[in-house]
Amino acid sequence: MSTATAEHAFLAPRPMQHARRAATAGFLLAATLFAGGAFAQLPPAQHSGNIEYVTGGIGIDESTAFKQAMPQYPLALTFAERLDGKGAYVSDVVVVIRNAKNNTVLNADANGPYFLVRLPAGKYQVSATYKNKTLTRNVDVHTKGSARAVFEWH
């Protein structure tokens, strides 16, 4: 083999190296696209007994993450206050959820305008207290889908 042919053979990509490079490039492209389209992640989940919940939603990225996650939670709560004819999201809401037997299954503080809860299917009464004013909603949580309740103080 001549020196030119030997150099050319050395510089030419081998089929396995080419396949690995293509796979790596594809993975990096997919990861970049996913990361570019993703928003802030949800805060860590919290637990009260066997009930899991996540709360927050301050800032556009986190708010968007909560809105995207709502369909994955059996119950999604939103908190707002009407000020001068305009709605404004609120936090520091005390949330109490009672089951059909009137047993408290969750008593927690909302750290933002969104509160997502993993509850078993059933009928619940949800009370939300903000600035010493309590609003109550009855919700039916099903095995599929997401029940939603909006609390707006005036």
Read off the pLDDT of residues 6-64 as tens digits, 9 standing for 90 and up. 444 444 444 544 444 444 444 333 333 343 344 479 999 999 999 999 999 999 999 99
Same domain as 18, residue 59: no
Nearest CA to 149 out of 78, 82, 85, 49 is that of: 78
Rg value, the chain, Cα: 25
Same domain as 79, residue 53: yes
pTM: 0.74
Return the number of other C-beta atoms located less than 10 Å from residue 90's C-beta: 20
User: CA of 82: how far to CAs of 11, 88, 128, in Å?
Assistant: 69, 6, 15
Q: What is the pLDDT of residues 111-130, one digit of tens each?
A: 999 999 999 999 999 999 99
The residue type of 89 is Y
Residue span of the structural domain in which 69 resides: 46-153
DSSP 94-150: EEEEEETTS-EEEEEEESSSEEEEE--SEEEEEEEEETTEEEEEEEEE-SSS-EEEE
How many domains is the chain built from? 2
Same domain as 53, residue 33: no
pLDDT of 117:
98
- More reliable by pLDDT, 145 or 19: 145
CATH number at residue 116: 2.60.40.10
Q: With contact defined as beta carbons under 8 Å apart, do 76 and 147 qualify?
A: yes
pLDDT of 85:
86
pLDDT of 44:
95
pLDDT of 154:
92
